Amino acid sequence: MQITQSLRDTFMTQGYLVIDNLLSADEIQALVDDYVQLLDRIALQLYQERKIPSLFSDLPFDKRLGTILSQSQENLFRYFDIALPNEDITEQTPFHLSPAIFNMIKNERILDIIEQLIGGEILASPIQHVRIKPPQQTAERNPNQSSLVKQTGWHQDQGVSREEADDTETITVWLAVTDATIDNGCLQVIPYSHRYGIATHCPSNEQMTIPEKLLDGTPRPISIKAGSALLLHRLTKHASLPNISDSIRWSFDLRYQPIGQATGRDELPSLIVRSRSQPELVQDDYDAWVTSWQDARTALAHKGKRDKTHRWDGDAPVCA
């Protein structure tokens, strides 16, 4: 898959780029099947523990997930995410690292796009997430759910990382598993906002967000089809719209950067996914990848309090 010079220029000028049909229908279905099986296991556990009244197995995945989220008062998002949380890590903290996730992160078409923007020495960042957003009303019924399942406020991906990674050429691939529409909470971006550096972020509803007074420019909603991707510059200001539909909106945040540059999360394992100069460095062992995350979880659990994962204290005047 090729990015033309005009598309590359568009990305560098606007701070974002839409790539249609980046993954095939079969590749998207592999992810859906993987999460259907995961939900089966979670639902059975919750039902056996009498935390939900039914398995809700007659419902399709999207409706079933929303129903279980609304019926349970636990933070179920942790079972679905592909990374560790920023705090309260134990040796039992769940995360979901399946062969389907491994294959998605290493997908050759995604890497072909990234190579044309940052070169052929590519590292998959450990700052990656699944985003399964139920309808807003469903999310609000359970106050214990992670903020990652709710509407995401304005931020920059670089702004919610540590300062050590400020010069890292990170590119976010926001990959849609379901259609992302204005009704179900697609992303919105402020074009050209990456030109003005890092804006101050303030604590807000369990998130770090940019105050409204620092939002310059006109937001643009980005609706894309399942299998398509929104590429974001690390300094582009973006947020999600609320999900006012009756179904979930599902995506993955995948971040890639050049090998050798700081990840901003040295305590978490990164993954070399392509190296033109030293192809033997590419990590193809799925089991070793999972073990590296399990080892990181154990180390963080024994450490106790995790180091701060961003630079903001909320004491800037603009946060008052």
pLDDT digits (tens, 9 = 90+) for 33-52: 999 999 999 999 999 999 99
Alpha-carbon span 14 to 253, nearest angstrom: 19
**Is the confidence at residue 304, as pLDDT, over 80?**
no
Cα–Cα distance measured from residue 147 to residue 239, given in angstroms and rounded to the nearest whole number: 13
For residue 305, pLDDT beyond 80: no
Dist CA 14 CA 140 (whole Å): 34
* Cα–Cα distance measured from residue 317 to residue 205, given in angstroms and rounded to the nearest whole number: 18
178-237 pLDDT, tens digit each:
999 999 999 999 999 999 999 999 988 778 999 999 998 999 999 999 999 999 999 999
Edge-to-edge strands of the sheet including 238-240?
220-221, 187-189, 238-240
Q: Do residues 146 and 77 touch, judged by C-beta distance below 8 A?
A: yes
Nearest to 292 by CA among 35, 78, 84: 84
At 175 the pLDDT is 98
Q: Is 304 left (phi over 0), alpha (psi -120 to 50) or beta?
A: left
pTM over 0.75? The answer is yes
CA distance 168 to 163: 10
Q: What tokens does 125 get?
A: 């960042």
Phi, psi (5° rounding) for residue 172? Answer: -95, 130
Residues in contact with 316: Cβ distance below 8 Å, sequence separation at least 6, in sequence order: 200, 202
- Cβ–Cβ under 8 Å, residues 240 and 189: no
CA 11 to chain centre: 20
95-113 pLDDT tens trace: 999 999 999 999 999 999 9
Question: What contacts 108, CB < 8 A, 6 or more positions away?
Answer: none
